[in-house]
Structure 1
Amino acid sequence: MSDSQPPNQQRPPWQGGPVPPPSGPTPTPQGPAPSPWTRPYDPPSPWARPSGPAPSAGAFGAPAPAEPYRPVQVRMVRRAGAPLAGLILAAIGAAVVVFLALSGATTVGTFVGAVVLATVGAVVVITCYMWLDRWEPEPPAYLIWAFLWGGGVATVGAMVIEQVLSLLVFDGDEVLTAAVGAPLAEESLKGAFLLIMLTGLRRREMTSLTDTLVYAGMSGIGFAFVENLLYFSTSESLGQTTFMFFARILMGAFAHPFFTTMTALGVWASMQRRAGGAKVTFILLGLAGAMVLHGLWNLSSSYSITAYVGTYVLVMVPAFVVLVRQAIRSRRLEGVVVRRELPEMVWSGLISPEEAGWLGSLRTRAARTRGLPREEARAVATFTDAVTELAFVRDRIKRGWSTPELQAQQAELAMFVADLHAAAAPVIEPMTGGIPVVPPVAPPPSAPLPPFEPRPGGWRG
């Protein structure tokens, strides 16, 4: 690769350019203050960089692996897992609903058929959300927790609250309970999962609008799954089952995820505000939108088929189309953010120019991992996820949301990317054929990245 640089383009440190001053606090007479770029841990020996002569280099200096890839242990960045107590509570709630469905079923065959029909609807909707979540896939444990929360805690809690409201507030009026009580209880409980995700280290997973949409969707899918299970289990005829399948699966498969998504929009808008009052206001507005749509849906179905179809065509479909367009736009913007941040990672030495080329596209990412053994594919996936998360964090810092916690997360992720690259170098570095290079760009002073030392035998050698 040529050493020439575009006009007015600062040369990166690894090509002889100036090394930026440290971004941390100035030294004190007692010694230098800790830098945010200091490793939060000491690398254990299992993933220390190898010593000895570097392997022979191929194109662009990429080393040719001398032996099959063996996974190297790399300490993960700090994350908050799905709490065991929360998983158990959600699972118990889901088990209670399944028991109720089983006890209400006319026959075992009816219950099995209900499980199959409810699963069909859930699988279709989950597949759509997984497509939306391809740039930075959410941890499976969180997704399972969201599903169980919707299907367990939210479902059981809503059943209890609706019964209380029906007896004490609505005097047994089924229409009012369905149009007012059900949306109040169900949307509040489904949306509560998003507030849980904003606590502690779990907040690190909520880095984009897509993340909030996915977690809201999984909570809604879990709720819809067990609700469909209850309805199908109590069906008394084939005609009734057919009608419910048409109304609840073909027409309403996205209903509960769609309603909860309105809460997600409010939560995401609140995350873009600094004032506490504004945060609360946007969350309540999103929740109110979810309740209104849910109430209209239930109210229309309580009157007639004409009212139901009219509400579906005139209200639900247009609102759903707007939401889908917004979700697709959010997914596309995630790719824009990643491609915008990659040149600065090249400048710092975290990745090579050619690696930045294939990291900037979902298609080339998939092509680079296609056919790899499981361990190698997992190593590459972990590396690409870390690069993507680092890009999102840096984008948030550049947009003026820098905090000490976010700066620490950026430093930790940068170290994590460097160590993942070193550990999986025999797999990652040969993935350079036929990919356009991405030239380095110096980071702005407001969001510095330190230059990382060259890896022995690596692409800068």
Structure 2
Amino acid sequence: MSLPDPRYAPPQQQPRPARRFDPRAVLDGRPPGRAPVGAIVTIVVASLCLFAVLALTALQGIAPFGAGLLLALVPLGVWIPVVLWLDRLEPEPPMSLTVAFLWGAGVATLFAMLLNDAGLRFVALPLFGPENAMYAVATAGAPVVEELLKGAVLFGMLWFRRHEINGWTDGVIYAAMVALGFAAVENITYFVAASYTGTLTSTFVLRALISPLLHPLCTALTGIGVASAAMSPPGPRRVLAPLGGLLAAMALHALWNGSTGFGYVGLGFAYLVGLGVLVTIVVLLVRDRRRTVATISQQLGRYVPSGLVTPPDLTMLSSLKGRRQARGWARSSGGAGAEKAMNDYQRAATELALLHDRVARGATEPARVEPRRQGLLGLMDVTRHAFVVRAPQPTPPPWSPHAPSGFTPAPPHRTY
């Protein structure tokens, strides 16, 4: 199956006034003018859960809580920029990233605390006694509970927002945001407890410096499984891939927690396994980026006859360096408004290419994505027109100094 004739044509429905055109809605894949109610409700609920966890922790002492909060922000200040840097080629909607982070920080953390405490009190203590109960919960209970809770939002996205997951990179990005939120709040509780036992320094070194990627690495396995399912046609893989990723996440988490019972040998083995997982994820991300770049060149070439893109524009869109140069050229030619128009054009073009890729893979049916295709085409046309209005006589674009580009002539403008 394939999408309709790719030559550019306006949608069949009556045109809407330009003032109602909503680029953010088009890029996010939701109907224009309609608030993302599900995301808003999730953010509110997760924020309430986060407030409850922080309030309970603060009751143990305001000063230790303040110190723990500040120390927990240190890893976030390092790793969130790294995650966003990985997300440059096809940035995920900010609201979806916020949902993922707050779910991990609020919902997953609160219910993990409650369930782990219940498992300790009612299962581990009666079965293993006070000496071994904590180790049993950390090794057998916490990995299952925590990875299930963190992974729940990823499974929810697979069910409700499948179109936002276009590759392994997306799965890793969302998983990392969930896990970083969970780890940050969990670190606060550990730092507060450590401040009363005189082990705050060692606890900070262990959790913030030695093992800051434990939760992101584990949950990334679930994210890769979910992404594999989102990219696959209907079949067993849609079920087995996310379940396999979740089980792998639980196993890695249990291995790390259980390694503490075997001294330096166990810890060293856990580190080797974790390093192997990290290298594997990096290789998958590199391959996924190459696939995305190839997809842009392959899938958008069909739109050259429409005038929405030219061969030099495809070269620009297929390179992070070229995209960055194009945004800089747009800003110098027409200011911040022209730069935003270029940025929206680049994002819409990438989403359009990935949309065609999903259809080619059999992951979705053409009829289901045709409205989104038309919206992305409309956004590309509107942003080109907006650029020309702000920069009617720009200097030759750096990616196409002599060949024609869709941003040098004044393209015909259609209203959607």
Would the TM-score normalized by the shorter structure come out above 0.5?
Answer: yes
Letter of the 1:414 counterpart? L
Would the aligned equivalents of 2:165 and 2:230 in 1 still touch at CA under 8 Å?
A: no
Taking the TM superposition and a 5 Å limit, the aligned residue runs for 1:210-229 are 210-229=169-188
| Structure with bigger RCO (C-alpha 8 Å, 6+ apart) | 1
Larger helix percent: 2
- State which drifts further: 311-320 or 130-139: 311-320
Q: Displacement of 1:386 after TM fit?
A: 0.7
Q: Secondary structure at the match of 2:313?
A: helix
- CA RMSD, Structure 1 to Structure 2 (Å): 3.2
* Gaps in structure 1 of 5+ consecutive residues: 1-21, 25-34, 48-71, 441-451
Determine which of 85, 90, 105 is the counterpart of 1:136.
Answer: 90
Q: Distance in 2 between matches of 1:97 and 1:254?
A: 22
Letter of the 2:153 counterpart? F
Q: Displacement of 1:83 after TM fit?
A: 2.4
In the alignment, does 2:195 pair up with 1:236? yes
Letter of the 1:96 counterpart? A
Q: Distance in 1 between matches of 2:209 and 2:104?
A: 21
Q: Distance in 1 between matches of 2:53 and 2:192?
A: 11
In the alignment, does 2:344 pair up with 1:382? yes
1:458 aligns with 411
Structure 1 residues 296 and 346: CA distance shift in structure 2, 3 A:
same
Q: Displacement of 1:432 after TM fit?
A: 3.9
Q: Secondary structure at the match of 2:185?
A: helix
- State which drifts further: 112-121 or 174-183: 112-121
1:435 aligns with 399
Q: Secondary structure at the match of 1:198?
A: helix
In the alignment, does 2:257 pair up with 1:298? yes
2:15 aligns with 42
Q: Distance in 2 between matches of 1:433 and 1:185?
A: 53
Structure 1 residues 378 and 281: CA distance shift in structure 2, 3 A:
same
Structure 1 residues 181 and 238: CA distance shift in structure 2, 3 A:
closer
In the alignment, does 2:37 pair up with 1:79? no
Q: Distance in 1 between matches of 2:79 and 2:210?
A: 12
Q: Distance in 1 between matches of 2:274 and 2:232?
A: 29
Determine which of 377, 380, 387 is the counterpart of 1:417.
Answer: 380
1:192 aligns with 152
Structure 1 moving runs of 4+ over 6 Å: 437-440
Per-residue CA distance 1:15-51 (angstroms, 9 max, x = gap): xxxxxxx759xxxxxxxxxx9962556231548xxxx
Determine which of 352, 367, 375 is the counterpart of 2:325.
Answer: 367
Q: Displacement of 1:318 after TM fit?
A: 1.7
Q: Distance in 1 between matches of 2:364 and 2:309?
A: 24
Q: Distance in 1 between matches of 2:402 and 2:49?
A: 50
1:122 aligns with 76
In the alignment, does 2:217 pair up with 1:258? yes
Per-residue CA distance 1:187-212 (angstroms, 9 max, x = gap): 00101111211234x22211222111
Q: Displacement of 1:375 after TM fit?
A: 3.3
Q: TM-score, normalised by structure 2?
A: 0.83
- State which drifts further: 159-168 or 386-395: 159-168
* Gaps in structure 2 of 5+ consecutive residues: 127-132
Taking the TM superposition and a 5 Å limit, the aligned residue runs for 1:322-333 are 322-333=280-291
Q: Distance in 1 between matches of 2:246 and 2:342?
A: 39
Would the aligned equivalents of 1:350 and 1:417 in 2 still touch at CA under 8 Å?
A: yes
Would the aligned equivalents of 1:216 and 1:257 in 2 still touch at CA under 8 Å?
A: yes
Q: Displacement of 1:74 after TM fit?
A: 5.7
Q: Distance in 2 between matches of 1:267 and 1:162?
A: 25
Q: Distance in 2 between matches of 1:318 and 1:345?
A: 41
